[in-house]
Structure 1
Amino acid sequence: MPHPFPRRSLLAGAAGATLAAPALAQREFPSRPIRLIVPWLASAAADIQLRGLAQIATRHLGQPVIIENRAGASGILGAQLLANENQGDGYLLTQMHNSAMRVPFMMQRAPYDLLRDFTFVIRLVGYSYGVVVRPESPWQTWQQFAEHVKANPGKVSFGTAGVGTTQHIVMEQAARIAGFDWVHVPFRGGGDDVQALLGGNLDAVASSSLWAEMVQAGQLRLLVSFGEERIGRFPQVPTLRECGINIAHVSPYGLVGPKRMDPGVVRVLHDALHRALIDPEHAALIARMDMPLAYLNSADYAASMPVAVEEQRAIVRDLGLRM
């Protein structure tokens, strides 16, 4: 199966990053700190990655990139804020992720237009997802867990970072394929679901790889992962596809600004963020978090969006999801 992030995209993007930005943007931007809205709690996987990226990008931009956490609403608060921002001057950015692309289709009135309300600056990385349980739980494997779910309809609970998030979608898709009847408990995102699991208030959590170190320390047990391939640090743990459920998700995400941003400003931001993305310090960070590189430059990122948006619309329609 072809790799989801073709090498040619990385090379083409890197080449595009060397083109000169308009002199005005290079000379005047940035002249003050840049705000980066992270729509999750501090300590979420995206928060950790974006903080590391921001620290490195600060060195290239000559101005601090300041993280602001705005968690809740299934991760759409950053997108909502930018959609209402009239000054696309480059000083306000947010993460654009699949949940933020999906949730508008779950609402009676969409809070923003995905293709008109944003400027797509750079696509960055993807997630590694999986299902974890407490180490003292009776389930050693996904198959054992699945058998328990089937034998106890409506009694097994799982937590996620919110309604409409990718981990929620995967669990709903898995339920439809395997005939599961379980209880979804949404959280705000950032590890609060894992804390509830550790406290005995949930049976399982479907989450991005913020659980990795706890799994390695024996504090949690990883039953299955959601990617095309097994997670490098956990080669003994199968994917959903290997368990007979034909689903694979890594959910690449990037950074966007408000609509109608100056192309020169976009280029300055892109170039600094791209340098930070491929910096060895950042490469080590995402390797520790099992986050695959998913880079696209600004033009390719924008060009990819119509297809990505339709994919999310179809998921919502097929599962009948509503907020």
Structure 2
Amino acid sequence: MQRRHLIQFAAATVAAPSLTAFAQSYPAKPIKLIIAFPAGGPTDITMRSLADNASKILGQQVVVENKAGAGGTLPAQALQISPPDGYTLAQIPLGVFRLPYTTKLTWDPIKDISYIINVTGYAFGMVAPTDGPIKNWADFVAYAKANPGKLSYGSTGVLTSPHLTTELIAQKLGLQLNHIPYKGNAELNQALMGGQLMAGSDSTGWAPLVDAGKVRVLNVWGEKRLPKFPDAPTLKELGIDIVQNSPFGIGAPRGTPPEVVAKLHDAFKKAMEDPTYVAALNRYDMLPMYMSTAGYTKFAQDTFATEKALVEKLGLMKTN
């Protein structure tokens, strides 16, 4: 027993300088940052701005890779087959925390991701084409009640926050809707403009369409009205007791050295403060939403529990 302890101590002594040296030389090559939605949408545009700023701070390029689909959970899944060396990072949307309740997984969203930093969150709402029959929220509800299952709305994917929140709204109001999922904001906007949908639920990726007069905002889901769309009521103002915002941040594979996590945290925190990033967020009524490594890890643990309650309420829990 004593000999085994001595061997373990010797191994740790040898490994420690090597880990320190690795952290000091990190990063020695470009870093891949996988995001959960397609190019051209609000997530892509804002995260590319953040990545550009972080590249200057780290002295290596942070390269954005788009991996859309599966409700925004593909980047987190990619971490499970990536080495924990700090060279593969992923955006972590809220859908990651509800995944184990709806799908059989071989990994754990809490134990198998190193949470680095939270950077922002989505502002959500529902819109309808201006040339369609729905002019306001009262029209939406009236049409849905008169035509069960016929009011078509699109979202950015099955089990995403836009999808589940809309279904929760429908449940509260006794509505039956026709959900049509898309891979991201760009596809959803095309469907809205192509007359394929009567409404859309999304983050404020629809803002340019509102500015162009092509869609109107029926409601927003935050605690307060959005400054850019002051005429759009909140769900609470409409008598629906729901507030939905969706913080997201950056994670790495489990086992990433703490020194590397700290270096990444500090670089992205500084990148968040750059005016170019703040301007990119403002374009979509988003704000910097900082959480430290410890704070973001605690948020992940708490959200994992609250998302279970939402999935259960909607009757979407997987069966064993």
TM-score, structure 1 as length reference = 0.90
Which shows bigger deviation, 189-198 or 266-275? 189-198
Give, as a single letter, the amino acid of the residue that structure 1 aligns with 2:46: Q
Q: For residue 85 of structure 2, what is the aligned residue in structure 1?
A: 89
CA contact (8 A) 1:98 1:252 kept: yes
Q: For residue 152 of structure 1, what is the aligned residue in structure 2?
A: 147
Unaligned runs of at least 5 residues, structure 2: 1-18
Once the two structures are TM-superposed, the CA of residue 151 in structure 1 deviates from its matched residue by 1.1
Once the two structures are TM-superposed, the CA of residue 137 in structure 1 deviates from its matched residue by 1.6
1:105 matched to 2:101? The reply is yes
Q: Residues 289-314 of structure 1: CA distance to partner in whole angstroms, max 9, x if unpaired? A: 11133210111111222111001111
CA contact (8 A) 1:57 1:272 kept: yes
Q: Matched residues in 1 for 2:201 and 2:287: separation? A: 18
Q: Matched residues in 2 for 1:122 and 1:90: separation? A: 14
Pick from 123, 132, 137: which aligns with 1:137? 132
Q: Residues 58-109 of structure 1: CA distance to partner in whole angstroms, max 9, x if unpaired? A: 1101000001111111111111110222x211000001111121122111x1
Q: For residue 64 of structure 2, what is the aligned residue in structure 1?
A: 67
Give, as a single letter, the amino acid of the residue that structure 2 aligns with 1:161: T
CA contact (8 A) 1:42 1:190 kept: no
Q: For residue 14 of structure 2, what is the aligned residue in structure 1?
A: none
Q: Matched residues in 1 for 2:199 and 2:183: separation? A: 16
Q: Matched residues in 2 for 1:105 and 1:47: separation? A: 27
Which shows bigger deviation, 116-125 or 312-321? 312-321
Q: For residue 230 of structure 1, what is the aligned residue in structure 2?
A: 225
Q: For residue 76 of structure 1, what is the aligned residue in structure 2?
A: 73
Which shows bigger deviation, 143-152 or 262-271? 143-152
Instruction: Say which SS state the counterpart of residue 170 (structure 1) adopts.
Output: helix
Q: Residues 137-156 of structure 1: CA distance to partner in whole angstroms, max 9, x if unpaired? A: 23221112111111111111
Q: For residue 8 of structure 2, what is the aligned residue in structure 1?
A: none
Q: Residues 134-183 of structure 1: CA distance to partner in whole angstroms, max 9, x if unpaired? A: 11123221112111111111111000011100000110110111111110
Q: Matched residues in 1 for 2:21 and 2:295: separation? A: 24
1:40 matched to 2:37? The reply is yes
Change (3 A) 1:278 1:245: same
Give, as a single letter, the amino acid of the residue that structure 2 aligns with 1:84: I
1:199 matched to 2:194? The reply is yes
Q: For residue 321 of structure 1, what is the aligned residue in structure 2?
A: 316
Once the two structures are TM-superposed, the CA of residue 26 in structure 1 deviates from its matched residue by 5.5
Q: For residue 156 of structure 2, what is the aligned residue in structure 1?
A: 161
Q: Matched residues in 2 for 1:264 and 1:67: separation? A: 23
RMSD: 1.4
4+ runs deviating over 6 angstroms: none
1:55 matched to 2:52? The reply is yes
Instruction: Say which SS state the counterpart of residue 245 (structure 2) adopts.
Output: coil
Once the two structures are TM-superposed, the CA of residue 25 in structure 1 deviates from its matched residue by 5.3
Pick from 277, 281, 284: which aligns with 1:282? 277
Q: Residues 116-150 of structure 1: CA distance to partner in whole angstroms, max 9, x if unpaired? A: 11000001111011111111123221112111111
Unaligned runs of at least 5 residues, structure 1: 1-21
Q: For residue 269 of structure 1, what is the aligned residue in structure 2?
A: 264
CA contact (8 A) 1:122 1:298 kept: yes
Q: Matched residues in 2 for 1:314 and 1:25: separation? A: 42
Aligned length: 300
Q: Matched residues in 2 for 1:116 and 1:228: separation? A: 31
Q: Matched residues in 1 for 2:21 and 2:227: separation? A: 45
Percent identity of paired positions between Structure 1 and Structure 2:
38
Q: Matched residues in 2 for 1:136 and 1:54: separation? A: 38
Q: Matched residues in 2 for 1:303 and 1:118: separation? A: 13
Give, as a single letter, the amino acid of the residue that structure 2 aligns with 1:37: I
Q: For residue 295 of structure 2, what is the aligned residue in structure 1?
A: 300
Change (3 A) 1:298 1:25: farther
Pick from 19, 28, 31: which aligns with 2:28? 31
Instruction: Say which SS state the counterpart of residue 227 (structure 1) adopts.
Output: coil
Give, as a single letter, the amino acid of the residue that structure 2 aligns with 1:218: G
Q: Of the two, which has the highest radius of gyration? A: 2
1:180 matched to 2:175? The reply is yes
Once the two structures are TM-superposed, the CA of residue 23 in structure 1 deviates from its matched residue by 6.3
Instruction: Say which SS state the counterpart of residue 185 (structure 2) adopts.
Output: coil
Q: For residue 19 of structure 1, what is the aligned residue in structure 2?
A: none
Q: Matched residues in 2 for 1:202 and 1:152: separation? A: 15
CA contact (8 A) 1:143 1:243 kept: no
